């Protein structure tokens, strides 16, 4: 059933996906004719949602299958992921941006100085006009890969599809790291793996949308697991690679420091270990920029995503609302900066005050830091909500928390295919859900009905 769900999403995805006008695939069979029909898009969207529902149903059945082993879960994840390797970029244009940035690298142009508008041809037409002239905020790892790929693959569609290999690599890293983290946190490694690797949200948003974020969180999980098993130096080095994909990947250093310290470590020891982890991670990050030939120009482009206000960014919506109410023009930017500052401040407090020497508290601190960075971030995309997922799944969760994680993942998966249509709805739904979550966290509230759902999952 899960495989059928994936196949339906991919098959209907070819109807709704944004494709170059001159791509040869549109001349093969009935695809081009179907895409030209007025009814094709709504019907295909309905088929996609049916596929997501089948994936969700199969996922719930897998979670209740208490006898399933780790090999079964990994095999199931591979089976459900395989059809997405044959899909174009779905539910997001990021795949086309990755292809354009790799083409810039292959052409000898730095994506940190030039936007995709410097290109000619079909790739340029696939980029959202807002990002045509903007440099990329991504680190050197995906750009180096994209440049190498663009020298071999010349067809724009195949080039974009090939970038999904980075998301698949992220899933492979999660398959290795999650059982290790779960065992050290006292959780079930099979359930932790099933919660993430087979999650419809990860498959529909991460694999289908082919976002670099999947590789980032895979490297983060691998960094924390490596630090716990093989020492903080190796963990910090892998965290540097995660930051070389996207800057938030460097937050893995928070968990690495807490794991590496002995229980009850004093402030001086915390500061010394933080400095050591930071130096190793930064050295790897700088070395990757030098080896790739791309340098560190992405540092000046970190503000590029904040050029637009996304409806999931609560701080941006709050500031914009205050600007309109008070007739000002500065509160939106101030609110976004304040939210980011609060998230970073909490991360520092966790680093200095969180109990050390215990993997479960370290992983929980990382999940909290990532969750706050997303909730209070200046710009929030739907796939950012995947960031804390693997670290929450690795924890020993209460039954109601487990049910909340599962229900949230299902809702997120259903939102993915209709994301462009949901922007006004997000403005209502997101503040309500965040408010309820904050109240539950601050009051340590328990939800009996959710607990019953969680117990039903095994």
Tens of pLDDT along 286-304? 999 888 888 777 776 666 6
How far, CA to CA in Å, does 25 sit from each of 15, 19, 124, 139? 11, 9, 19, 32
pLDDT of res. 239: 95
Reply yes or no on whether the pLDDT at 422 is more than 60: no
pLDDT of res. 312: 67
More confident residue, 407 or 426: 407
At 376, the pLDDT band (50, 70, 90 cuts) reads confident
pTM > 0.95: yes or no: no
Cβ atoms of 25 and 31 within 8 Å: the answer is: yes
pLDDT of res. 21: 78
- Rounded to the nearest 10°, the torsion over CA 283, 288, 291, 294 is -120
Residue 239 to residue 173: CA distance in whole angstroms: 13
Reply yes or no on whether the pLDDT at 427 is more than 60: no
Cβ atoms of 343 and 331 within 8 Å: the answer is: no
pLDDT digits (tens, 9 = 90+) for 157-212: 999 999 999 999 999 999 999 999 999 999 999 999 999 999 999 999 999 999 99
Q: For the chain, give the mean pLDDT.
A: 84
Residue 282 to residue 409: CA distance in whole angstroms: 33
Cβ atoms of 328 and 190 within 8 Å: the answer is: no
Note the helical H segments in 17-127.
31-35, 40-64, 70-81, 94-106, 122-125
pLDDT of res. 305: 57
């Amino acid at each position: 059933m899960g495989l059928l769900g994936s196949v339906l999403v991919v098959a209907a995805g070819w109807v709704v996906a944004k494709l170059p006008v001159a791509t040869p695939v549109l001349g093969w069979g009935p695809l081009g004719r179907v895409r030209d029909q007025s009814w094709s898009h709504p019907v295909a969207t309905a088929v996609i949602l049916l596929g997501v529902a089948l994936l969700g149903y199969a996922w719930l059945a897998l979670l209740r299958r208490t006898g399933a082993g780790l090999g079964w879960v990994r095999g199931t994840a591979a089976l459900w992921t395989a059809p997405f390797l044959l899909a174009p970029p779905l539910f997001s244009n990021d795949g086309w941006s990755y292809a354009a940035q790799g083409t810039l690298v292959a052409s000898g142009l730095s994506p940190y100085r030039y936007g995709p508008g410097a290109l000619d041809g079909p790739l340029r037409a696939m980029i959202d006009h807002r990002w045509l002239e903007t440099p990329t905020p991504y680190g050197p790892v995906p750009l180096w890969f994209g440049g190498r790929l663009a020298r071999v693959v010349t067809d724009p569609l195949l080039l974009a599809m090939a970038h999904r290999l980075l998301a698949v690599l992220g899933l492979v890293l999660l398959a290795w790291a999650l059982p290790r983290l779960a065992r050290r946190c006292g959780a079930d490694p099979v359930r932790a793996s099933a919660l993430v690797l087979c999650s419809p949200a990860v498959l529909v948003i991460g694999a289908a949308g082919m976002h670099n974020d999947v590789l980032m969180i895979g490297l983060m999980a691998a960094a924390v697991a490596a630090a716990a098993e093989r020492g903080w130096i190796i963990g910090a080095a892998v965290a540097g690679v995660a930051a070389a994909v996207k800057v938030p990947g460097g937050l893995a250093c928070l968990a690495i420091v807490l794991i590496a310290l002995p229980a009850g470590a004093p402030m001086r020891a915390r500061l010394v270990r933080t400095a050591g982890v930071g130096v190793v991670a930064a050295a790897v990050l700088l070395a990757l920029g030098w080896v790739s030939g791309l340098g560190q120009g992405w540092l000046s482009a970190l503000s590029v995503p904040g050029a637009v206000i996304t409806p999931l960014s609560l701080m941006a919506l709050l500031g914009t609302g205050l600007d309109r109410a008070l007739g000002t023009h500065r509160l939106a930017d101030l609110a976004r900066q304040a939210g980011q500052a609060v998230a970073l401040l909490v991360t520092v407090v966790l680093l200095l005050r969180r109990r050390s020497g215990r993997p479960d508290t370290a992983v929980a601190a990382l999940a909290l830091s990532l969750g706050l960075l997303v909730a209070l971030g200046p710009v929030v995309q739907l796939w950012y909500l995947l960031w804390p997922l693997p670290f929450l799944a690795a924890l020993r969760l209460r039954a109601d928390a487990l049910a909340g994680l599962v229900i949230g993942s299902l809702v997120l998966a259903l939102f993915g295919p209709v994301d462009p249509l949901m922007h006004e709805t997000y403005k209502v739904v997101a503040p309500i859900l965040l408010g309820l979550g904050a109240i539950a966290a601050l009051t340590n509230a328990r939800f009996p009905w959710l607990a019953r759902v969680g117990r039903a999952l095994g």
